Amino acid sequence: MNMERIEELCLNYLRQSDNPLVPVTVLAEYCAREDKDGRLSAEELLPFLRRHGEVRVMEGPSENEAIGAELFSAAGIDMGPRAILKTRIPAPGEIAAMLSAQAEDMLHVLRTALAKAEKEEDHDRAAALGKALERTEAMKARIAATIRPNDNKGPAKK
Label residue 72 by pLDDT band (50, 70, 90). Answer: low
Nearest to residue 22, comparing CAs of 71, 85, 75?
Answer: 85
The whole-angstrom separation of Cα 116 and Cα 23 is 30
- 157 pLDDT exceeds 50? no
Residue 73 predicted with pLDDT over 50: yes
Q: What percent of the chain has pLDDT over 90?
A: 44
CATH topology of domain 3-67+78-88: Arc Repressor Mutant, subunit A (1.10.10)
Q: Render pLDDT for 14-65 as a digit per residue (tens, 0 to 9).
A: 999 988 889 999 999 999 888 777 578 888 999 999 999 999 998 865 555 5
Contact between 9 and 37 under an 8 Å Cβ cutoff? The reply is no
Q: What pLDDT, on a 0 to 100 scale, did the predictor assign at position 97? A: 81
Eight-state DSSP code of residue 58: E
Q: Which amino acid is at 21?
A: L
Q: What is the pTM of this model?
A: 0.58
- Residue 53's region, left for phi above 0, alpha for psi from -120 to 50, else beta, is alpha
